Copies of this chain bind each other. A is one copy, B any other.
Amino acid sequence: MRVSVLFSGGKDSSLAALLLEPFFDVELVTCTFGLVPTGEIAAKTAGELNFPHRTLLLDRGILESAYELIMKDGFPKNAINHIHEKAVEALASDPEVPVIADGTRRDDRVPVLDLPRARSIEDRFGVQYTCPLRGYGRKAVDLLVKKHLIIEEGLSEYTVKADYETELRELIRQRAGEDKIRDLFPVHVQSHVLTRKKLH
């Protein structure tokens, strides 16, 4: 059975794909609004991991709604969760997609699809939504990442990644300037996956 993994090129979505690989036919899917070439960035990492990859273009109106949310809230949580929910819905509406996965971990707060929303998507679209890392805490994820992936880490301002934040930051940069990005996003460490570790 095929599973479509929402893929940013970061360590969490990469590890989710690795955990699913022995049990499903994995394809990686990167959602983009076309504002930053995130699909190309993610495709390169997907190739290194040796998984098939495709890019799914999302309606620009979703990014506009997220922009309104973050400007109103003053913090990114609701805006990022909004994009994530719409990305899962867009993937779920594809009749060729029976199972969706993402890299959500036990201790994550953003992006997280809460249980009522997850069940609603499963019921409306007849898909299964899964989070292979949901039962793993930070240290257990770190153990698995260290064993299976080669990553580079850096501050979020400088790390090239294909996540929802990247395009939201770019829209804010265009409309409100660099300083506004620093007001709205906490500086945090991002990971970018380079390739797999060769085992054995």
Per the bound structure, the CA–CA distance linking A139 and B104 in Å amounts to: 19
Residues in chain B near residue A131, CB distance under 8 A: 134-136
Contact B128 A143 (CB under 8 A): yes
Per the bound structure, the CA–CA distance linking A129 and B136 in Å amounts to: 7
Contact A139 B144 (CB under 8 A): no
- Which of B130, B132, B133, B143 has a CB less than 8 Å from the CB of A1? B143
Which residue on chain B has the smallest CB distance to residue A142?
A: B128
Band of interface residues on A: 20 to 34
Residues in chain B near residue A133, CB distance under 8 A: 135
Interface secondary structure of A, over-half rule: mixed
List 9 additional contacts besides A119-B137, A130-B140; criterion CB under 8 Å.
A19-B23, A23-B147, A106-B134, A122-B137, A128-B136, A128-B137, A130-B135, A131-B136, A132-B135
Q: Which residues of A contact B (CB under 8 A)?
A: 1, 19, 22-23, 99, 101, 104, 106, 115, 118-119, 122, 128-137, 139-140, 143-144, 147-148
The contact sample of 13 A-B pairs, CB cut-off 8 A, is A1-B147, A23-B147, A23-B148, A99-B140, A119-B137, A122-B137, A122-B139, A128-B136, A128-B137, A128-B140, A130-B135, A131-B134, A132-B132
